[in-house]
Amino acid sequence: MGTTMNYLRRGMEYNKWANEQWLDCLNRTNAGEEDRKILQHILASTKAWALRCHGISVTEMPKPDIDQATIDELHKMWMDILDGRDLEEVIEYKRTTGEPYQMTISWMAQHVINHGTYHRGELRGLRRARGDEDFPDTDIAGYVLL
């Protein structure tokens, strides 16, 4: 297995773990709709990019359930893509706005990982701004140290 493949597989494992930490937090703290929408956005984007790898250009963002089954399903979708496809395969797709684009599978996977990290940071910032310190530390360094 090549270095890029190892990097992306580890990244997807981290992404799953971090999403699970936030799902647990949001359920445990009875988080409001604003917080849940951010996690749903992360999951929706993860699904949209996987669908694009399968030749489906989404016309609107999916509205996945915010639960463990969805996290597991999306993780499996991405691991199957990484295991079964050429990472340098160029995927042509349309954005939800209809604009045509193309990107390699490796860049799509990297985007999914970075996008999740970005929005989990946003979620952390929103909670902290409200004075809520009850949230997980999902920095990748914490995951690596497990």
Q: What would the pLDDT profile of 85-104 be if each residue is shown by its tens digit?
A: 999 999 999 998 999 999 99
CA–CA separation, 20 and 123 (whole Å): 14
Q: Please give the pLDDT value at position 145.
A: 78
Binning pLDDT at 50, 70 and 90, where does residue 2 land? low
pLDDT over 70, % of the chain: 98
Q: Please give the pLDDT value at position 30.
A: 87
Taking CA atoms, 146 is separated from 4, 132, 137, 140, in Å, by 22, 25, 12, 10
Contacts of 44 (CB under 8 A, 6+ apart): 61, 62, 63, 64
- Comparing CA positions, the residue from 112, 90, 113 lying closest to residue 103 is 90
pLDDT digits (tens, 9 = 90+) for 16-51: 999 999 999 999 998 899 999 999 999 999 999 999
CATH 1.20.120.450 fits 3-144, yes or no: yes
- Residue 108, token pair as written in the block: 């799509």
pLDDT digits (tens, 9 = 90+) for 46-66: 999 999 999 998 989 999 999
CA–CA separation, 124 and 29 (whole Å): 14
CA–CA separation, 54 and 77 (whole Å): 10
What is the SS3 assignment for 95?
coil
Q: Where are the domains of the chain?
A: 3-144
Binning pLDDT at 50, 70 and 90, where does residue 146 land? low
pLDDT at 142 over 90: no
This prediction's pTM: 0.94
CA–CA separation, 125 and 117 (whole Å): 12
CA–CA separation, 119 and 112 (whole Å): 11
pLDDT at 125 over 80: yes
- Comparing CA positions, the residue from 16, 65, 42 lying closest to residue 111 is 42
pLDDT at 68 over 60: yes
CA–CA separation, 65 and 96 (whole Å): 20
